[in-house]
Structure 1
Amino acid sequence: MSDVRCICAIGLSGQLGLKGELPWEGDPRPEFRADVERFFEITRGHVLIAGPKTIGAVPDFGRAQMTLRVARSSERPEDVLAEFADRVVFIGGGPALWDVYAPFIMHWDITRLPYDGPADRWFDPKWLLTGKGRPL
């Protein structure tokens, strides 16, 4: 069985996204740059399962250091995860994917960033309360 994890960053009020981007995208402050560096450090050598937009945003150096897998809504999470048995798998891409994969995620790595602006996507604590055998 895969070791399924999630690594994400949220704003001070749980913000995740704004108009299809990270709300803090391009913020040059050190905390934000460090978060991006940490993401690639932690996921290096592992699998990232995400939607096509997230996978498409992975830069070339990231593509060279991890296995990328686009998740499709027509696929059962169990079948996708079975492709990576005995691997560490990170689920990326935000709420739509986490709604489906949360019951399989055994480790959440959440960084809280000093962002307190607008958002249209929010972290849902219910994802933390699901797990094997506990539905959303």
Structure 2
Amino acid sequence: MPDVRSMIAIGLSGQLGLNGHLPWEGNPGPEYKEDVANFFAKTRGHVLLAGPTTARAVPDHERNYMTIVELRSHMHPQETLAKFPGRVVYIGGGPPVWDVYAKYIHHWDINRLPYDGPADRWFNPNWLVAGGNAK
């Protein structure tokens, strides 16, 4: 089994998404730019399993530095993860993905950003409790 991790940025109240995007997308603040740069620095050389929106949002200039797998509902998590033995695998892609994969995640890297606006997707603390319990 690979080393399964997740890296998430959340707003002050746990905001994750708004209308299929990050709620703070396009914000020019340095903490937002630093968050994106940190994500790509940490995921380089590793595997990113992500929902379609997240997988397609990875810029072309970063795609050469990681293995990206676009997750679909018919894919079985254990079978998908088993394809990457000994690798570091990051799980991304929003609540529907984390609802399925949280029990496989052994490390969560959560960055709280100074965003406190609207959202339609929220961080679920139960994902943290589920982590690392899968066999």
TM-score, normalising length: structure 1: 0.96
Cα deviation for residue 108 of structure 1 reads 0.1
Kept in 1: contact 2:4–2:104 (CA 8 A): yes
1:56 is matched with: 56
State the alpha-carbon separation in 1 of the partners of residues 81 and 111 from structure 2.
25
Written as runs of structure 1 = structure 2, the 5 A alignment for 1:40-55 is 40-55=40-55
Q: Which residue of 2 aligns with 1:98?
A: 98
- 2:86 paired residue number: 86
Distance across 1 between alignment mates of 2:7 and 2:132 = 19
Q: Which runs of 5+ in 1 are unaligned?
A: none
- Structure 1 ranges of 4+ moved more than 4 A: none
- In structure 2, relative to structure 1, the CA distance for the partners of 1:83 and 1:40 (3 Å cut) is same
List per-residue Cα deviations over 1:71-110 (Å, max 9, x = no partner): 1101110000011111000000010000000000000000
| Aligned-residue RMSD, C-alpha | 0.9
Distance in 2 (CA, whole Å) between partners of 1:78 and 1:84 is 10
Gaps of 5+ in 2: none
Matches within 5 A, 1:1-136: 1-133=1-133
Report the count of equivalent residues: 134
Identity of aligned residues (%): 63
What is the TM-score normalised by the length of structure 2?
0.97
